[in-house]
Structure 1
């Protein structure tokens, strides 16, 4: 279990620093083109490991796997959820800072236990209080009294939280039936495919000069954030429950703020810092065990 938790913590370091690379790439490349390259590079980075495991494993079929769920279908579903979340996040970074994006993205940590109700996970009192505290933090962090509730980039990042929440919960289901490395490689392939198909739809262009200008962000996000980070997430979630996994992954927001300050010179106003503090309190407190206030009962089979 310690090894699995370390996998998750290591993923947060790679993801937190990836916000900086993603923010830098917005100056030279469109969101969908960037994600297509980074996730296909991530798939290539994981592929040798997947092939090695394939040779070492006699059978990776889970006996209780649903008949309708195949590995390609699982990867396609995971890839679409990852595509939606990463695309919205990359689009949002055109309009906001890496540090703020990291904190707002971390709201999925609070959302996981709330959406988990639909999967028959218990709702606790601290889930509610933590969510309200974190939302107050978002208001302080992202609202600037200009008449709009949230600035454009902050709002787009906030919408992406829905898909990061689903990503955590869907992984928790699929990793029971398939190898985590297979799922990682497969979701990267499909996410990259969906991204490249979106390039002409979004009116983006992909040129060699743009790729060269974005080479460092692409390599970092492709190999370390995508290839290593998401694989560590899937491997770590094999034995760590979703709520605890989301707590460990919440450290991503701290690393994103530190990386934004260290590499981009990003700073925050006192109001924004107070928002970050409240978000941190809300996100961490939501993971504290407390009284169960609601559980969606499973239907009994006839």
Structure 2
């Protein structure tokens, strides 16, 4: 029952993330994307602070917790920075499906990072996903564009975040770990914004635009504060591969939201590409024949 509740909570997170693709894309038409991320994650921290118990403040977070939170925050920063900037150059539906490739990258990186024994099915799913990404990318007249490549880097960042969340979440207070990683994202986003983004055309009126306010409220509360606390808390009772599979629904929700709110449509090749990617997400979790007999890895289904 506990795992079922965890899976349901994580599916809700996937829905929120998929649904906010459109609102973020509309907001960054007024506010630079890195600055938007910095404000979004800072607001999320402020929303979480009231839940820190006074008694907990006397327990100074350990250096190990801080390191773990900063590392998770760095991977999150990579994911959101490249995703948000990528949305300037590609559609929200394409960005959603490319981001979904992280579910395929998770088991592949676990082989390199955590030394999990490789399974033949992992490589099959990677090939299927690559074909899907190709079909999806050429579905537009301009083919593979700069935004698609940025979002692909974001997928790698999110995959690393899932892997290391599974590694660290069981060892630390989920609220402290969540706040530490969100603060890291906010600081890195602000620094990057000051270096790379142009503030000359930004005015006070840009921040009070309806699209910006709605995006900041929905993303800071639901898609950041709630979402990452839920992930950090419930990934302790399920496997990283199961989490990645649940998050595979995010691009589906993103495409549905883009259709309902923006009227975006994929071509026939694009829809076939999406089908390939979604199939790859499912195939990655099928039982495969390992190259060597070994103990079940972290990424085997529980």
Tell whether the structures are fold-level matches, with TM greater than 0.5: yes
Residue 139 of structure 1 corresponds to 134
Aligned residue-pair number: 288
Residue by residue, what CA displacement relative to the aligned partner does 1:254-276 show, whole Å, maximum 9, x if unpaired?
A: 10111111111111111101100
Deviation at 1:144, TM superposition (A): 5.0
Residue by residue, what CA displacement relative to the aligned partner does 1:5-54 show, whole Å, maximum 9, x if unpaired?
A: 122111101100111111111211111111001111111222222x13x6
Map residues 151-166 of structure 1 onto 2, 5 A cutoff.
151-166=145-160
Pairing partner for 1:212 from 205, 208, 231:
208
Distance 1:197 1:57, change over 3 A: closer
Distance 1:48 1:283, change over 3 A: same
Residue by residue, what CA displacement relative to the aligned partner does 1:80-102 show, whole Å, maximum 9, x if unpaired?
A: 11111100000100011111111
- Runs of 4+ in structure 1 off by over 4 angstroms are 56-61, 144-148, 294-297
Structure-2 separation of matches of 1:207 and 1:121: 51
Residue 188 of structure 2 corresponds to 194
Deviation at 1:190, TM superposition (A): 1.4
Deviation at 1:204, TM superposition (A): 2.9
Q: Secondary structure at the match of 1:292?
A: coil
Deviation at 1:122, TM superposition (A): 2.7
Deviation at 1:146, TM superposition (A): 6.5
Distance 1:42 1:147, change over 3 A: closer
Map residues 181-260 of structure 1 onto 2, 5 A cutoff.
181-205=175-199, 207-213=203-209, 214-260=212-258
Q: Secondary structure at the match of 2:18?
A: helix
Map residues 4-153 of structure 1 onto 2, 5 A cutoff.
4-49=6-51, 51-52=52-53, 55=55, 69-117=63-111, 118-143=113-138, 150-153=144-147
Deviation at 1:176, TM superposition (A): 2.3
Instruction: Give the TM-score, by structure 2 length.
Output: 0.89
Residue 64 of structure 1 corresponds to none
- Unaligned 5+ segments in structure 2 are 296-302
Structure-1 separation of matches of 2:266 and 2:9: 30
Residue by residue, what CA displacement relative to the aligned partner does 1:216-242 show, whole Å, maximum 9, x if unpaired?
A: 111111111111112211112111111
Structure-1 separation of matches of 2:213 and 2:231: 25
Structure-2 separation of matches of 1:40 and 1:296: 44
Instruction: Give the TM-score, by structure 1 length.
Output: 0.89
- Unaligned 5+ segments in structure 1 are 62-66, 298-302
Residue by residue, what CA displacement relative to the aligned partner does 1:127-159 show, whole Å, maximum 9, x if unpaired?
A: 1111111110000001258686x2111111011
Q: Which moved more, 1:260-269 or 1:72-81?
A: 72-81
Distance 1:191 1:216, change over 3 A: same
